[in-house]
Structure 1
Amino acid sequence: MKKTLLTIALSALAFSSTAFADEAKKPLSFSEIQTIRIMAGGVVGNALAKTMERPHLGLLANRSLICNDLAGGIGGTLTVNKADSVLTFESVKDKPEIAPAVARLLPADGIYFAFGGEWKKEENMALLEAALEQLAEHNYKGSVIFHVTTWAQKQPQEIAARNARVAKYFETANLRAVALDLNKKEAMINKVSFDGKDYKLQVAATAPLRDDLVALFKRQ
């Protein structure tokens, strides 16, 4: 009898472990993908609220659901947590929209680039390159902040490698890049320096990631 009970218990434990593993590997639904962006945006917005001395933030994203979810999380959290903050948001779908959008963002103390989402990397890079050329033309002195996907895909790095004007601007620009460390359960805003050849990153601020957000990220 004891042996039977033990066998049943072990079988139940094995079933439970298998079910948990299956759930951990379950593909994300589109709504869960949106949830990640909303929550991650909240983490970034909270970090920016704590670190921006002059809290006027410009947000530039492509016109995709995912990137706009992210922008909403960033902007909503920033403005709720910092009463004197100002938010200017622009979403673009093609290159002709870039110049007027950037012109409206230039008064901001920092401009956050969120180019990823459902769009192809090449499509995002075309918009980002046009935006960075505008910043170079105006010699923008505020913070230029790249989202996790934008930086991790090496969008700005590849643009600078082929565009001498952008590369020259990067040498003196106030660059920032957001990164994630899922093992440490934290997001980082890195200060980026560029000497014309290599990029060096130094952590400027960190923010904790919730366990449920980390779990969603690990299923990607």
Structure 2
Amino acid sequence: MRFTIIALAASLVATATAAPLNKRIIGGGPVLEGDIPYIVEIQAKSGLCTGFLVDSQTIMTAARCLKDKSNPTVYIGNIKLGKGTKAAVSKFVVHPNFDDKKGLNDIALIFLSKKASVTPSKALTSPGAMPKSVIKNFPKYNDELNKVSLNVDPTVNCKSKNPNFNDKTQFCTRDIPLGHSACDGDWGGPVFSNNRLVGLVSRGTSGIKCSEKGSFQYFTYIKPFISWAKSEISKN
């Protein structure tokens, strides 16, 4: 089963106030122009994140990207950092049960002031099932949209590094082979299995650098959150 992470990988500073993004997708390969038109670059005070359109006026991303509680700057639909179409943000909503310390319910929605002109993902209408494994890896990264394929680990391993892990709403990967992983700053990027969107990048392992031995990455499985997302969208 193919499992691929997509994020805006870079070794630069997104904004004057953002943290340096010197450790992004490790071992990833480039995405071609037009492959994922609904991809979104998110520039927040806390740093650079990735998201994706779930309808023409709503972006889904990781809640931890919006911890500074101010509207981010977003760019839609380009594989190069800062080269997408800038879109005005009206508001955002973080899942009410988001727990940053435990890493749970790490999901949020950003609402645009106007409808985007690109076709959104099918995350709300046809989300994929929980992924099991991957079959391919990609060899490099740069300052464009990148992808990397990773193995999904069993629950017992995920819990070994994070006792709060919830296998109903999360899945995790280990850095196998070494040098291929999602990393700091890739948060919110879409995750695919069999060409269907199944989740988003959430976090790494506390106290361990990404791509190093013992490194795990955790992901939010979006299917359990579809009802919440649709409810919030109906209010907008």
User: Does TM-score exceed 0.5, indicating one fold?
Assistant: no
Structure richer in strand, relative to its length: 2
Which has more radius of gyration? 1
Higher relative contact order (CA 8 A, sep 6+): 2
Taking structure 1 as the reference length, what is the TM-score of the superposition?
Answer: 0.29
Structure richer in helix, relative to its length: 1
